[in-house]
């Protein structure tokens, strides 16, 4: 594991509220329990459970959202999630979250996102680069910035970009609001939009106006696609030709052919797919075929907190399950850079970080 932690990595599919530390979630649940907001023991049971079907996962998200309602909590979890990814040498993170509106506490989608941005600003132990091209001076894009020390040791560096998620429970109007917000927040590192949420809820047609508008305006689009069997929707989504898709668990031969013809990259979430039983076992995971045929793919965590995983663990799992040696694992991580939605300057900086880490390959035993 140590080696998998030590190499630089790129995370392209991580949901903020799915990536919360267990310890933080339990602490927040205990606080809320004391205020009578939830029954702590019930919550503890749900949080600590390890086997989660897709249905249970979405129940858990509803519970998590009750626990993380406040702006200050969103700020805290964002900060911690960034620190956690940076601590395992994720050097580029595309973090996605669903902007939420909650009139009872004066939360608008914008104020929710401002709380997220505050979380990025609050990180002190890691050098976080999140402001996009127009505001960031070219010199600060340099990967060897000098004021980088924390408690006497060199700070790690992480580039963070944001994707705003549209929840499949939302209406066309609500989805359009999210896209408008994403456009307004481009200078704060928002690079695209995602369609996610319970895949058994909602219709593709509801989201097309917002996703088409996003695309027209130059935002990148990624879709949760084929997480449950739904032939018609998979075809409709592929016809939209998103810049990436996530999961692709329930694909038939024709879907694979179309995906490959269109060369649409896939965000692969091994542990998530196994735990939710979307894929029956790792040895039949579509990663194997996509990897062998050199289709563009990126290993991702999905929900590191909910599925008790990390990006290092996902790389380690791919290596042990599919017999991929360290040189090829490093290459797999490197190739994910080109699938990022950030601009080419950021990608070049991330490539430099990989180049300077290449020594890790020669200094390790290839076993």
Site for ligand 6MZ, rule CB under 6 A: 15-18, 57, 61, 97-98, 165, 167, 196-197, 224, 227, 272, 276, 302-303
Provide the strand spans (E) within the chain: 9-15, 90-97, 126-129, 149-150, 153-154, 156-167, 190-196, 220-225, 244-247, 266-268, 297-299
Smallest distance from the beta carbon of 97 to ligand 6MZ, in angstroms?
4
Kindly tell me which of 206 and 276 has the beta carbon lying closer to ligand 6MZ.
Answer: 276
Of 17 and 206, the one with the shorter C-beta distance to ligand 6MZ is: 17
User: What's the CA gap between 342 and 189, in Å, rounded?
Assistant: 8
Q: What six digits make up the tokens of 108?
A: 């608008």
The residue from 227, 233, 314, 349 that is catalytic is: 227
Q: In terms of CB distance, is 17 or 132 closer to ligand 6MZ?
A: 17
166 vs 219: CA distance, rounded Å = 14
From the CB of 197, what's the least distance to ligand 6MZ, in Å? 4
The half-sphere exposure of 7 on its side-chain side, counting CA atoms within 13 A, is 30
Residue whose entry in the numeric block shows the structure tokens 């700070």: 155
What string of DSSP letters covers 156-213? EEEEEEEEEEEETTS-HHHHHHHHHHHHHTGGGTEEEEEEES-TTSS-HHHHHHHHHH
Least Å from the CB of residue 43 to ligand 6MZ: 16
Q: Smaller CB distance to ligand 6MZ: residue 89 or 97?
A: 97
Q: Find the shortest distance in angstroms from Cβ 351 to ligand 6MZ.
A: 28
Q: Which of 8/197 has CB closer to ligand 6MZ?
A: 197
Q: How far apart are CB 144 and ligand 6MZ at their closest, in Å? A: 32
Q: Of the two residues 164 and 337, which places its CB atom closer to ligand 6MZ in the complex?
A: 164
Nearest approach, Cβ of 99 to ligand 6MZ (angstroms)?
8
Number of residues written out for the chain: 367
- 227 assigned to active site: yes
Q: What tokens appear for 173 in the block?
A: 């109007």
CA 117, 247, 238, 173: dihedral to nearest 10 degrees? -40
Distance of alpha carbon 210 from alpha carbon 166, whole angstroms: 9
**Contacts made by residues 361-366, CB under 8 angstroms, sequence distance 24+:** 361/326, 361/327, 361/330, 364/3, 364/326, 366/325, 366/326, 366/327
Active site residue ranges: 227
């Amino acid at each position: 594991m140590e080696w998998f932690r030590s190499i630089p990595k790129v995370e392209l599919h991580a949901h903020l509220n799915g990536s919360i530390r267990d310890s933080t979630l339990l602490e927040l649940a205990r606080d809320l329990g004391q205020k009578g907001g939830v029954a702590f023991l019930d919550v503890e049971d749900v949080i600590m459970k390890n086997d989660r079907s897709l249905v249970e996962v979405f129940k858990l998200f509803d519970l998590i959202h009750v626990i993380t309602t406040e702006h200050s909590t969103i700020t805290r979890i964002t900060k911690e999630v960034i620190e956690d990814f940076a601590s395992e040498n994720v050097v580029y993170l595309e973090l996605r979250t669903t902007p939420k509106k909650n009139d009872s506490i004066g939360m608008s989608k914008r104020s929710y996102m401002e709380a997220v941005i505050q979380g990025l600003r609050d990180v002190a132990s890691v050098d976080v680069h999140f402001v996009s091209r127009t505001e960031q001076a070219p010199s600060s894009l340099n990967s060897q910035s000098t004021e980088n020390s924390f408690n006497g040791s060199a700070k790690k560096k992480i580039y963070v970009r944001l994707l705003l998620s549209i929840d499949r429970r939302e209406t066309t109007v609500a989805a359009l609001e999210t896209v408008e917000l994403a456009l307004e927040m481009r200078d704060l590192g928002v690079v695209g939009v995602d369609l996610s949420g319970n895949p058994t809820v909602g219709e593709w047609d509801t989201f097309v106006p917002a996703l088409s508008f996003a695309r027209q305006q130059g935002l990148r689009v990624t879709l949760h696609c084929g997480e449950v069997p739904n032939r018609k929707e998979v075809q409709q989504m592929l016809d939209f030709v998103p810049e990436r898709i996530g999961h692709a668990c329930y694909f038939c031969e024709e879907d694979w052919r179309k995906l490959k013809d269109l060369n649409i990259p896939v965000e692969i979430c091994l542990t998530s797919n196994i735990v939710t039983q979307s894929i029956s076992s790792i040895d039949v995971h579509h990663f194997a075929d996509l990897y062998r045929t050199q289709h563009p793919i990126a290993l991702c965590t999905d929900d590191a907190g909910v599925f008790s995983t990390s990006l290092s663990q996902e790389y380690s799992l791919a290596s042990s399950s599919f017999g991929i040696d360290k040189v090829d694992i490093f290459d797999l991580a490197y190739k994910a850079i080109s699938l990022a939605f950030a601009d080419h300057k950021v990608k070049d900086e991330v490539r430099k970080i990989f180049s300077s880490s290449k020594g890790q390959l020669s200094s390790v035993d290839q076993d």
